[in-house]
Amino acid sequence: MLRTVRRGAIPLVCGLAATVALAQYAAAGPAPAHPTTSQVTAASAADQSTKAHHGGSDYWASQFQFDNNGTPWSTADFAAIKAKGIDRAELNMPWSKLEPSRGTFDFSELDTELANAKAAGVKLVPIFWQSGWRGSPATFETDHEVTSTGATGVALAWWDRTEQDDYFAYVTSTVAHITHNPAYGGSFMDYGHLDAQWLDGPGEGGWAPADIAYFHAGWLPATYKTVAAFNAKYNTTYTSFDQVPAALPGAALDGVYQAFRQWSVQDTYGRLTAAVRKVSNGPLFYYFGGHISNAPQLGNLPDIFNLARKYHATVVEDAANSAGLSLLFGSLGRAYHVPVAQEWTVFGTNDQIPAEAVNWLSMYPMTLPNGGGEDFFIHDGTDKDVIGYPIYISWLPVLQKISGSYPTQPVAVYIDYSTARGNDSGGNLNGVENSIGALWAGYQAGFSVVTSEELANHADSLSHYRAVLPMNGSDANIAAYQNAGGTVLSNGSQLATYAPAYADLTSQHALQVVPATAANHRSSMVTLGEVNSNYGYTGSVTLHPKGLNLVRGTYHVVDALTGQAPAQKLLADGSVCVPVAMKSAQLDQWSVLPGAAPAGTPVPASCPGNSSGATSVTGTAGQSGGGLIYMSVGATGQGGDGNLIQVTQGGQTAYETWTSAQSGVTPANVYLQLDPSSQVAKASTVTAQVTYWSVAGQGFQVQYDSTTAPYFGGPTVAGSGTGSWQTATVTLTDVQFNELQNLSADLRLAVTDPTKPLYVSSVTLSVSNATLSTTG
């Protein structure tokens, strides 16, 4: 079908005026927020309306290219995924194909696919990409973004008026054409570079001439009203807004331009969604690509939840294999009453994909009761698809039966996001996500994650919490909470004083436990995921009814997959301890049910145990086992600072580091991860022995995950330089080994001279019995 559409101008200034309060917040920084009764009522109504729009947690999807190599997806193609439990197929829309010339649309292939999907009982969900995906942007669009380094970006210039009008017309015309089709399942709203908004190549976008022009003529006058007001705030002497610099990162007044960039994301997404809502009442989705630390560059602020609440959209967490990010998104979904779906984007090698998939799938209950389903990226025949897709579809029947709520407690960790809004004194976002994930790995409890964004949007208040732990420094919100009598914590170990854990593990970073408790608080469904790609889990899980938000009483555990009660021990405080032995990348589902375990259920002699695990672990080049793994052996990716090659050096098998000339980056490292069930992983003082080839000018520093920094600088080894194998013995103190380094490593050997290789034959980490007696 060919259709020509006459397009009208999009009223940009009206959109600016409607959201100027957001810009003022961006410039001024967040303030404490307390939801009113009317806001709570409105949020509840929005929640009910949202459920009406997309039907709750029935979104079980996989992403597809627009067609099958130029041929429409057939009924048989859709029937094949329907048989696996998938009921939504997300289509990556090629703007250039659907709109071959400005104002002329060709919906013929899309119509065929809708008809084929309808016949198979599958709904199609278009993903509207403005730039970055194959076929987008349209060929008639030519004005591109400019990055902070002056390079031409992939994305279109954000504030080019003609291009923005074109994209809005393309999206709204397409949605209007298909919204009443029985096979239409909703649309993804995107703008900018994929789901990263501003990101373009090596730097961030936002410095195109059209962007700077709108900054001067639109945003500055609407935000500050007069130049005099701007000068008073920033102690400047400009005579017109045109003189205010579109400052680069690190330059004077860079926070002003950063606030404009972030405001642009919220404004444009809001106007685009409002335009689509005028032509369709169907489901809508927002992607959140990237991670917490990317917020200043990508514009991926959690404030997107505020738009989702307003326009009844689902937010899709596009990196759901991160525990820190999933905990954040589950909390945001509950605070805003917005559904959250999860998508897994793989980052590991083929041998790591199974554990990554298990990690992603096991965290689904974190989003409840606002679970919006799951989304597999991408069903296209690649390695991730071949390895991960069967895991996804095999676990779908279990996912689809999980109900209830993630059992939250009245404690929270807090993230100050204001640095992404241009507040130069705001908290540093680097490492926050990993720190939250590591905290939860050691304290599996339902703490919430609260952000400065949601406080500014009146979605939550710190006054709701008995205690709050700031993750990246204190700000005005924390000061106000403390002044009002709130308890501000200084470290994660204090959280347990204010809220019970729902599960205790005998070791961290291999097994994770994610529950969903029934609305009547008399049962829980508990997902167990063995998420370590290198090691299995042998130990126990102790479940605490109080931490699960269950009513007082006696409970027992049943394996939901087999219907059998595993060996378990009812402890004096009412907790239930269950011995567990799971291989890497394994999933299981338990039911916690009221009453005593069935007669004949085995009772383990010792549960929980705390004395198991090796007191020494060794990694030897070319050998498996030993409890210490070298990361990135055989990796060949450019830019990797830990790539290793197996070689023979001086008659011994060894691992050789890539030089900086080979990798293209300055540092070179040997990354190692130890068995989390070993006693070494639980010790605070560890002895390290490193056997290495000693040459003049070459050596290493042992940098390890400590309680103060993930790359704490330990002892440096220089060696004799005689061209021989030598063994260095060093002591590591204040160790925590929380896998917070690159590649989820616990420590690394940082090469002294990256221009030359370092050869390592073996590394041994050990802990003495005396140390165990003082730390255990």
- Report the C-alpha gap between 415 and 450 in whole angstroms: 6
CB 112 within 8 A of CB 173: no
Q: Which helix (H) or strand (E) holds 22?
A: helix 20-28
- Separation of alpha carbons 314 and 332, rounded Å: 12
pLDDT at 22 over 90: no
Task: Reply yes or no on whether the pLDDT at 57 is more than 90.
Answer: no
As to burial, measured by CB atoms within 10 angstroms (0-12 exposed, 13-18 middle, 19+ buried), residue 136 is: buried
Residue 8 has a pLDDT of: 43
3-state secondary structure 249-283: CCCCCHHHHHHHHHHHHHHHHHHHHHHHHCCCCCC
Q: Whole-angstrom Cα distance, residue 329 to residue 340?
A: 7
Phi, psi of 23 (to 5 degrees): -65, -40
Mean pLDDT of 351-380: 95
Please report which confidence band the pLDDT of residue 201 belongs to, taking 50, 70 and 90 as the band edges. low
In angstroms, what is the C-alpha Rg of the chain?
27
Band of residue 769 on the pLDDT scale cut at 50, 70, 90 = low
Exposure string of 248-287, with b = 16+ CB inside 10 Å and e = fewer, is eeeeebbbbbbbbbbbbbbbbbbbbbebbbeebebbbbbb
Which DSSP category does 369 fall into? Answer: T
Say how far apart CA 125 and CA 340 lie, in whole Å.
Answer: 16
In contact, 447 and 411? CB cutoff 8 Å: yes
pLDDT at 23: 32
Residue 203 — very low, low, confident or very high, per pLDDT cuts 50/70/90? low
Q: Which two tokens stand for residue 293?
A: 């630390």
Q: Identify the sign of the CA torsion 519, 525, 528, 529.
A: negative
Helix (H) or strand (E) holding 759: strand 759-766
> Quick check: 526 and 513 in contact, CB under 8 A?
yes
Pairing of the two strands 712-717 and 199-200: unpaired
- Distance spanning both ends of the chain, measured CA to CA: 72
Q: Quickly tell me which residue has 């001086």 as its tokens.
A: 650
Distances (CA, A) of 748 to 616, 633, 653, 676, 710: 17, 14, 19, 16, 10
Mean pLDDT of 294-322: 92
Amino acid at 687: T
Nearest to 692 by CA among 644, 760, 623, 630: 760
Antiparallel, parallel or unpaired: β 555-559 and 587-594: antiparallel
CA distance 2 to 140: 17
Any residues with CB less than 8 A from the CB of 397 and at least 6 apart, and which?
85
pLDDT tens digits for 333-357? Answer: 999 999 999 999 877 788 899 999 9
User: Mean pLDDT across the chain, nearest whole number?
Assistant: 90
pLDDT attached to residue 239: 98
Three-state SS annotation for 212-247: HHHHHHHHHHHHHCCHHHHHHHHCCCCCCHHHCCCC
State the SS3 of 643-680. CEEEEEECCEEEEEECCHHHHCCCCCEEEEEECCCCCH
Nearest residue to 140 via CA among 107, 97, 179, 177: 97
The per-residue pLDDT for range 749-758, each reduced to its tens digit, is: 999 999 999 9
**502-537 per-residue burial string, b: 16 or more CB within 10 A, e: under 16:** bbbbbbbbbbbbbbbbeeebebbbbbbbbbbbbbbb
pLDDT at 512: 95
pLDDT at position 553 over 50:
yes
The single-letter DSSP state of residue 444 is B
Task: Give the 3-state secondary structure percentages of the chain, helix then strand then coil, rounded to 5.
Answer: 30, 25, 40
Distance (Å, whole) CA 407 – CA 547: 7
Over residues 584-596, the pLDDT tens digits come to: 999 999 999 999 9
| 101, 174, 199, 309, 591 from 5: Cα distances, Å | 11, 11, 31, 31, 56
Residue 36 binned pLDDT confidence (cut-offs 50, 70, 90): very low
pLDDT at residue 446 greater than cutoff 50:
yes
Topology at the third CATH level for domain 503-594: Immunoglobulin-like (2.60.40)
- Architecture of the CATH domain 2-399: Alpha-Beta Barrel (3.20)
Helix (H) or strand (E) run with residue 206 in it: none
Instruction: Identify residue 626 by its one-letter amino acid code.
Output: G
Q: 167-171, 216-220, 299-303, 759-763 — which is least confidently predicted? A: 299-303
- Tell me the C-alpha distance between 417 and 423, whole Å: 9
Which pLDDT score, from 0 to 100, does residue 16 have? 39
- Going from the C-alpha of 590 to that of each of 116, 333, 538, 556, 587, the distances in angstroms are 39, 25, 17, 10, 10
Contacts of 577 (CB under 8 A, 6+ apart): 540, 541, 542, 543, 568, 569, 571, 604, 607, 608
Q: Which residues, in sequence order, are bridge partners of residue 690?
A: 728, 763
Provide CATH 2.60.40.1170 ranges for the chain.
503-594
- Copy the structure tokens of residue 78: 């859709």
Q: What is the pLDDT of residue 768?
A: 77
Can you give the pLDDT at residue 196?
86
* pLDDT at res. 772: 47
**pLDDT attached to residue 1:** 52
CB atoms within 10 A of CB 51: 15
Tell me whether strands 2-4 and 759-766 are parallel, antiparallel or unpaired: unpaired
Q: What is the pLDDT of residues 499-529, one digit of tens each?
A: 999 999 999 899 999 999 999 999 999 999 9
Whether the per-residue pLDDT at 569 is higher than 90: the answer is: yes
Q: Which residues make beta-bridge pairs with 654?
A: 647
Q: Indicate if the pLDDT at residue 776 is higher than 50.
A: no
The two three-digit tokens of residue 33, written as one number: 């927020």
Which range in 196-210, 229-243, 291-305 is most confidently predicted, on average pLDDT?
A: 229-243
How far apart, in whole angstroms, are the C-alpha atoms of residue 746 and residue 705? 6
Position 302 scores a pLDDT of 82
Judge whether residue 383 has pLDDT over 80. Answer: yes
* Extended strands (E) in 138-232: 144-146, 152-156, 187-189, 199-200, 203-204
Confidence (pLDDT) at 49: 38
The identity of residue 531, as a single letter, is V
Weakest-pLDDT range from 23-27, 553-557, 666-670: 23-27
Taking residues 663-670, report their average pLDDT: 95
Quick check: bond before 369 cis, omega within 30?
Answer: yes
Residue 609 has pLDDT above 50, yes or no: yes
Instruction: Report the pLDDT averaged over residues 474-492.
Output: 97
Once rounded to an integer, what is the mean pLDDT over residues 558-566?
97
d(CA 545, CA 89): 39
CATH architecture type of domain 616-775: Sandwich (2.60)
Tokens describing residue 583: 């291989």
Check pLDDT > 70 for residue 3: no
- What residue ranges of the chain are covered by domains with CATH 3.20.20.80? 2-399
- What value does the mean pLDDT take over residues 286-299? 92
453 vs 196, more confident: 453
With a cut of 60, say whether residue 35 has pLDDT above it: no
Residue 144 has pLDDT above 90, yes or no: yes
Q: For the chain, what is the total number of helices (H) and then of strands (E)? A: 21, 37
Nearest-angstrom CA–CA distance, 66 and 110? 8
Mean of pLDDT values over 690-694 = 97
Residue with tokens 């961006």: 26
Q: Judge whether 579 and 540 are in contact, CB under 8 Å.
A: yes
Whether pLDDT at 691 is above 60: yes
Greatest mean pLDDT range, 201-205, 316-320, 331-335, 608-612: 331-335
Q: Where are the beta strands (DSSP E) in 531-596?
A: 537-543, 555-559, 569-570, 576-582, 587-594
Q: Cβ contacts of residue 666 below 8 Å, gap of 6+?
A: 660, 754
pLDDT greater at residue 140 or residue 613: 140
Q: What is the pLDDT of residue 10?
A: 35
What would the mean pLDDT of 607-635 be, rounded to a whole number?
Answer: 90
